A = this chain, B = another copy of it.
Amino acid sequence: MTYDKHPRGFASDNNAPVHPTVLEAMQRVNNGHAVGYGDDPWSPQAAERIASLFGDKAEVFFVLTGTGANVMALGSAMHPWHSVICAETAHIHEDECGAPERFTGSKVIPIGHVHGKITPALIDKELTGFGFEHHSQPRVISISQTTERGTVYTPEEIRELAALAHDHGMVLHVDGARIANAVAALGITLKEMITGTGVDILSFGGTKDGMMYGEAVVILNGTLAKDFRYIRKQGMQLASKMRYIAAQFLAWLEDDLWLKNARHANRMASLLAQEAAAIPAIRILHPVEANGVFATLPKEKIPALQEEYFFYLFDENIPAVRWMTSWDTTEEDVKGFIDMLRKQLT
């Protein structure tokens, strides 16, 4: 698979380039000396800008990668004898090569899911062994918003999970690698979705929505922020020239660029899903609520499709494919892809 035939594919939203506005902002701060590690003029400004999206009490820390953001977030909430409960599809369980376990020393407990979402009923059987020294102590519930199956938790669902966590002295973490797509999908504010529902800590990512690198950990529950700076440095997630991360966030958040990007990507996925669903050989597997489309189709047909457009076979057994749209996906891209699908699958 290559991008030779079509320079934009549907493999992953992180394959997209950086939005030009973001890149220009990086260039604008490239001027004169600035203190490293966040003591430059832009980093506090960007942190404040992000915090303002969540209300007064949010504390914001920049890190380098999505995995880094998740692991630092968990590290700020967990002792090694704690456990985090998450969907078996969660990035922290499936896609981080055990980084949470290695860094925190704690246990990741994967549970079943419904279209990528976990529910109190599914979590319930793991809420056990509190106070029993032989058992890892449940400490974090972690969800992904948008989920790894392209669905979006409603604020009510998040509120219910936060309440469940808090009732057990636990905290709720949100992996927001695609939080922009969820905000765009729900048409509510981050304050409503995150602060208002009781989320304790959020990995706030922009790399899949027009940024180059760098993520923010947003702590709503102040007690978790206490030692974050040490955790971040020891976790190798402290950027020296932090101004270039700050500049990205400032540009990405200005004039709702982040939301425009996400809305566009969502719309493209919606279009793609609608058209694909009309092709008899294709069945859409999960509700398409953000920028990902999961579908099944005859396995033997897949390689030929991949030769035209770059995308991944997501699960060999179903078989399921994953098609992601991004801020730069065009209607022509979708139409061309659909035409190709129609041609090859009929």
Contacts and interface: CB of A to CB of B under 8 A. Distances in A.
Interface of A: 3, 7-9, 11-12, 14-18, 20, 23, 26-27, 30-37, 64-68, 71, 79-83, 94-99, 101-103, 105-110, 125, 133-137, 207, 212-213, 227, 229-241, 244, 310, 317, 326
Contacts of A83: 98
B79 A227 contact: yes
A12 B8 CA distance: 41
A234 B98 contact: yes
B133 A229 contact: yes
B135 A97 contact: yes
B81 A230 contact: yes
Contacts of A9: 33
B102 A98 contact: no
Contacts of A65: 64, 236-240
B12 A36 contact: yes
Main secondary structure of the interface of A (DSSP, over half): loop
Contacts of A103: 102-103, 236
Given A17-B32, A125-B317, 4 more contacts: A3-B32, A65-B237, A95-B135, A133-B229
- Chain B CB count within 10 A is highest, among A83, A96, A98, A229, for A98
- Chain B CB count within 10 A is highest, among A16, A97, A229, A240, for A97
Given A106-B101, A134-B233, A241 B212 contact: yes
B95 A236 contact: no
A23 B33 CA distance: 16
17 contacts: A9-B33, A11-B33, A15-B35, A16-B33, A18-B30, A35-B310, A66-B240, A81-B98, A81-B231, A82-B98, A96-B233, A96-B236, A97-B133, A101-B107, A102-B105, A102-B106, A236-B236
Contact of A107 (B15, B17, B32, B98): B98
A19 to B, nearest CB: 9
A20 B235 CA distance: 30
Nearest to A19: B30
Contacts of A135: 94-95, 97
A234 B201 CA distance: 21
A81 B105 contact: no
Contacts of A17: 30-34
A95 B80 CA distance: 15
A233 B97 contact: yes
B36 A30 contact: no
Contacts of A229: 133
A346 to B, nearest CB: 27
Contacts of A26: 23, 212
A134 B94 CA distance: 8
A66 B237 CA distance: 10
B30 A230 contact: no
Contacts of A12: 35-36
Nearest to A2: B35
Contacts of A34: 3, 15, 17
